[in-house]
Amino acid sequence: MEGFAELLDRLVLTPQRNGKIKLLADYFRETPDPERGFALAAITRDLDLASVKPAMLRALVAERVDPELFAYSYDYVGDLAETISLIWPAPEQRRANRPPMLSEIVETLSQTSRREGPLLVARWLDDLDASGRYALLKLVTGGLRIGVSARLAKQALADFGRVDVTEIEELWHGLKPPYETLFAWLEGRGTRPTSLAAAPFRPVMLATALDEADFPKLDAADYAAEWKWDGIRVQAVAEDGMRRIYSRTGDDISHAFPDILDAMDFEGAIDGELLVGRLGENGIVAGTFGDLQQRLNRKIVTAKQLSDYPAFVRAYDLLQEGNQEMGEDLRPLPFSERRKRLDAFVEDLDPQRFDLSPLVAFSSFEELAAFRSAPPHPIIEGLMLKRHDSPYVPGRPKGPWFKWKRDPFTVDAVIVYAQRGHGKRSSYYSDFTFAVWTGPEDDPSLVPVGKAYFGFTDEELRLLDRFVRENTTERFGPVRAVRAEPDHGLVVEVAFEGLNRSTRHKSGVAMRFPRFSRLRWDKPPREADRLEALEKLLIG
Amino acid sequence: MRPEELLRPTPQGLCCPPGDFHIDPVRPVERALITHGHADHARAGHGHVLATQETLDIMRLRYGEDFAGSTQAVTFGETVTINGLTVRFHPAGHVLGSAQIAVEQNGMRIVVSGDYKRQADPTCQGFEPVACDVFITEATFALPVFRHPDAAHEIALLLKSVAQFPERSHIVGAYALGKAQRVISLIRQAGYDKPIYIHGALQKLCDYYQSQGIDLGDLQPATLEEGDSRDFAGAIVVGPPSAFVDRWARRFPDPLACFASGWMRIRQRAKQQGVELPLIISDHCDWDELTDTIREIAPDEVWVTHGREEALVRWCTLAGIPARPLHLVGYEDEGD
């Protein structure tokens, strides 16, 4: 448990992706089975433990600590698990010769009743140090939020075993904690585990961005085009009674979409875009990304959400037809062939839940450019180009598939706050909050509409940093407010991919993927945009 | 006599009316007794200063030759008589030269502990418990959540990280007086013998510590000359905590911010300050040290100064020891 606790302590405070991967990979290297496997499962949240309620923990600590001293402490620390981990008094006599292992904790908890849980937890708290207690409490209360996605943990496994991350993703859903066969393979001590699970994930094929310079090298006749929909890329897989919906990175998100699962009465694997929409006379009318967000990242879906925001899959590709044993893996076939098979396959599916992403017929890239600048639906974010002869391969090979995104939206905004960055940027003000004007024309005020921390060069960052330091009006810890008045301040052109309504932001809008596209040193803040200009872009 | 007749809080700091002196006054006074060299306790501009030789040296280094009208050095255990009352200095274990001050008259003894700690520290003399009627204690970390781990454990975390990320430079924030030298000394005790790079603000005090026989090993300035190709990759750099958010830090490749402080016990504190590797190393008592010290000294009464007075007063009440907060102002609660 001590190694795991130390790892968590480091991960929580390490902002850089590469730093986290290194910490994880080193941990896997120096930790034996089954400890590391349970740690991995805790991080990817594949551990199913009987949880202990915060009220039970409060009761445990109340038996040991004066309530007034606890109240002062909790008030100071702010986090219940952290307060308890720090304040827990060392027992008069230590019971164990060594602190418990994570594997012992997981194995013991999986065999105990809810009633016995708190007693066990109390005994472990006695045997652990403060870091270990914190890790234990986060684990048993189900609050292990440490800024590490399952995807990042898989990347660390890939680095550790020097394999491609898609290999891990492909295997993942057939494996169970503590993953001993996986570690044996990654350490070169065993064979590659075969995925025995039905309805496995198949690593996704991705497109590279189309550069204008690429056109002379491309022949329009080699490519099919289709719209790029602004939802989330998914894989819907059904096999031998098992139905799963995977995200692009292989996370199982089935539980959030029972409406689609119900309609998956097929055998095969469809690659498509998950969207929200309703079946009309001419097919499904897709809703906005904001509508889709009503259905994302939810543990439980209510009947109202299901009826207000019905989900469907707009199919791009067919990867498997039939089950693994008797059916056919279509991935080696050319795209044109897979697409024919897909057309026939989708025809038999529930039209409320599955439809086809239509191909866009074109004869020249000039013609296609015209389509791109006037897409037929607001939630189209551009075009996809796919070579007719391209097999479906994992990863992002350059050449067979291109994405050709619509030009971003831009807005001229005023910088109002700046925050210090992390790592290499820790001495720079590099994270900026920007605002636009709102209120009466003769007495406007600035309302923040977003945050951005890239889109500028190192040289521009130096200038931005100097501007912040020389124009600070107030400080709040690592954040500084900067001068932003009609005739004094800094205007930036911000590029973004779309706009959603937001109830969380005062402005009522939330930008997708904002970044600086130009610094407008020349422009006085009074000439920056007004909120109304953004509101016009809201769709739906 | 009542203890309040011997020592009482005033806006200038703790005042001893019968002795006509102040202890650690925050404003210039005629006669000052100083516990240790940290800036919030040792200020320039007093008429006469009584302190240990080390504390006087440190004040001279920081404020120049004219930091006081006149000075008098006192050794630990030596009895000094001022206006018929007795004053003795005893080691406090906080930083080099730090002292507790025992003031005594008519059989009434009050010990002003200043800042103190009980953990081992290779750079200063350890705390000496002194029996007394009233014990005046600091309360910087007086909450039961503050329990400092063994400092050697924290240094091991630092050295592990240095090995793990050899392409980055580890910048350790540590207060210039005491903490910086203690951290360097602990790194040396752990067997690290490469040069340690220090910020210019640490130079004079590190030199002074070395001159007092405290071995800090090979220290080099963390500066880059024009055309210098060194890049500090893999190096340990020690600087004042304010420095790593300063432009100064930009000379280092991908700096990894560490901070040696008792405050690092609280994760949110570390996070807010952009600290990647918190090192819980403190020159103040943690909760257990405070309560154990009070039990050990067993005074008739405890007066609590700067920090989280209310929690320590509460503990004393539960333990049946009369206690009250002193509400002294001007001492930095943050400095550790």
Q: The domain spanning residue A476 has which CATH number?
A: 2.40.50.140
pLDDT tops 70 at residue A539: no
Whether B92 and B185 map to the same domain: the answer is no
Whether residues B149 and A426 touch (CB distance < 8 A) is answered with no
Q: Residue B208 is part of which domain span?
A: 151-279
C-alpha closest to that of A320 among A311, A312, A329 = A329
Among A405, A426, A444, give the residue marking a domain's end: A405
The contact set of A with B (CB < 8 A) is: 6, 9-10, 12-15, 19, 22-23, 26, 65-66, 68-70, 72-73, 76-79, 82-83, 86-87, 89, 129-130, 420, 422-424, 426-428, 477-478
| Tens digits of residue pLDDT in B183-239 | 999 999 999 999 999 999 999 999 999 999 999 999 999 887 665 656 788 999 999
* Interface mutation vs chain B, best among A69, A73, A160, most B CBs within 10 Å: A69
Whether residues B274 and A130 touch (CB distance < 8 A) is answered with no
CATH number at residue B172: 3.40.50
Whether B170 and B238 map to the same domain: the answer is yes
Per CB-CB distance under 8 Å, the chain A contacts of B256 are 423
pLDDT tops 90 at residue A299: no
CATH number at residue B81: 3.60.15.10
Angle in degrees, CA A445, A447, A453, rounded to 5? 135
Whether B213 and B260 map to the same domain: the answer is yes
Per CB-CB distance under 8 Å, the chain B contacts of A478 are 245, 272-274
pLDDT band at A95 (very low <50, low <70, confident <90, very high): low
The lowest-confidence range among A73-87, A151-165, A168-182, A416-430 is: A416-430
Whether A471 and A531 map to the same domain: the answer is yes
Please say whether the beta carbons of A223 and A387 come within 8 A.
Answer: yes
DSSP letter assigned to residue B125: P
Contacts of A184 (CB under 8 A, 6+ apart): A190
Whether A434 and A490 map to the same domain: the answer is yes
What was the pLDDT predicted at A145? 79
State the nearest Cα–Cα gap between A14 and chain B, in angstroms: 6
What was the pLDDT predicted at A194? 78
- Residue B333 resides in a domain: no
Tell me how many domains chain A contains: 2
pLDDT tops 70 at residue A540: no
Whether A318 and A385 map to the same domain: the answer is yes
Whether residues B267 and A82 touch (CB distance < 8 A) is answered with yes
Computed over every residue of chain A, the mean pLDDT equals: 91
The whole-angstrom separation of Cα A36 and Cα A183 is 9
Among B279, B295, B310, give the residue marking a domain's end: B279
- Residue A373 resides in a domain: yes
Whether A321 and A246 map to the same domain: the answer is yes
- Residue B330 resides in a domain: no
pLDDT tops 90 at residue A215: no
Tell me how many domains chain B contains: 2
pLDDT tops 80 at residue A94: no
Whether A375 and A502 map to the same domain: the answer is no
Whether A369 and A485 map to the same domain: the answer is no
Counting every residue written for chain A, the total comes to: 540
Residue type, A271: D
- Residue A231 resides in a domain: yes
Whether B121 and B10 map to the same domain: the answer is yes
Whether residues B255 and A130 touch (CB distance < 8 A) is answered with no
Please say whether the beta carbons of B244 and B171 come within 8 A.
Answer: yes
Q: Which two tokens stand for residue B188?
A: 């040396």
pLDDT tops 70 at residue A423: no
| Tens digits of residue pLDDT in B263-304 | 999 998 898 888 999 999 999 999 999 999 999 999 999 999
What mean pLDDT do residues A524-536 have? Answer: 92
Whether residues A19 and B278 touch (CB distance < 8 A) is answered with no
Whether A375 and A455 map to the same domain: the answer is no
Q: Which two tokens stand for residue B331?
A: 């001492």
Please say whether the beta carbons of A242 and A279 come within 8 A.
Answer: no
Whether B242 and B288 map to the same domain: the answer is no
- Residue A141 resides in a domain: no
- Residue A288 resides in a domain: yes
Whether residues B157 and A477 touch (CB distance < 8 A) is answered with no
Whether B208 and B294 map to the same domain: the answer is no
| Tens digits of residue pLDDT in B63-77 | 999 999 999 999 999
The whole-angstrom separation of Cα B334 and Cα A109 is 41
Phi, psi of A339 (to 5 degrees): -65, -40
Among B243, B263, B279, give the residue marking a domain's end: B279
What was the pLDDT predicted at A411? 94
CATH number at residue A347: 3.30.470.30
| Tens digits of residue pLDDT in A3-55 | 999 999 999 999 889 999 999 999 999 999 999 999 999 998 888 776 788 89
What was the pLDDT predicted at A297? 78
What mean pLDDT do residues A213-240 have? Answer: 92
What was the pLDDT predicted at B1? 82
Q: What pTM does this model have?
A: 0.81
Among A363, A383, A405, give the residue marking a domain's end: A405
Whether B262 and B293 map to the same domain: the answer is no
Whether B268 and B298 map to the same domain: the answer is no
More confident residue, A200 or B156: B156
pLDDT tops 60 at residue B319: yes
| Tens digits of residue pLDDT in B81-122 | 999 999 999 999 999 999 999 999 999 999 999 999 999 999
- Residue B299 resides in a domain: yes
Whether residues B145 and A87 touch (CB distance < 8 A) is answered with yes
Whether residues B311 and A424 touch (CB distance < 8 A) is answered with no
Nearest by CB to B143, from A19, A76, A428: name it.
A76
What was the pLDDT predicted at B268? 85
- Residue A243 resides in a domain: yes
C-alpha closest to that of B137 among B334, B318, B297, B29 = B297
What was the pLDDT predicted at B162? 97
- Residue B335 resides in a domain: no
What was the pLDDT predicted at A147? 82
Per CB-CB distance under 8 Å, the chain A contacts of B147 are 86, 130
- Residue B300 resides in a domain: yes
Computed over every residue of chain B, the mean pLDDT equals: 93
Whether A354 and A234 map to the same domain: the answer is yes
- Residue B231 resides in a domain: yes
Whether A246 and A344 map to the same domain: the answer is yes
Whether B242 and B294 map to the same domain: the answer is no
Whether A391 and A442 map to the same domain: the answer is no
Is the ipTM beyond the 0.85 threshold?
yes
- Residue B331 resides in a domain: no
Among A405, A424, A451, give the residue marking a domain's end: A405
* Interface mutation vs chain A, best among B145, B247, B280, B287, most A CBs within 10 Å: B145
Whether B100 and B55 map to the same domain: the answer is yes
Measuring CA to CA, how many Å separate B325 from each of A332, B140, B309, B311, B322? 78, 13, 6, 10, 11
The whole-angstrom separation of Cα A182 and Cα A205 is 24
What mean pLDDT do residues B142-166 have? Answer: 96
Whether A348 and A433 map to the same domain: the answer is no
What mean pLDDT do residues A517-525 have? Answer: 93
Whether B224 and B313 map to the same domain: the answer is no
Whether residues B276 and A427 touch (CB distance < 8 A) is answered with no
Other CB atoms within a 10 A radius of the CB of residue A59 amount to: 12
pLDDT band at B241 (very low <50, low <70, confident <90, very high): confident
| Tens digits of residue pLDDT in A392-404 | 999 889 889 999 9
Angle in degrees, CA B188, B190, B195, rounded to 5? 35
pLDDT tops 60 at residue B15: yes
What is the helix (H) or strand (E) element at residue B170, kind and residue range?
strand B170-173
- Residue A95 resides in a domain: no
Which percentage of chain B shows pLDDT scores above 70? 97
What was the pLDDT predicted at A291? 86
The whole-angstrom separation of Cα A210 and Cα A435 is 31
Whether B17 and B76 map to the same domain: the answer is yes
The whole-angstrom separation of Cα B208 and Cα B84 is 35
The whole-angstrom separation of Cα A459 and Cα A494 is 18
Whether A340 and A401 map to the same domain: the answer is yes
Q: Residue A294 is part of which domain span?
A: 208-405
DSSP letter assigned to residue B76: T
What was the pLDDT predicted at A118? 87
Whether residues B277 and A10 touch (CB distance < 8 A) is answered with yes
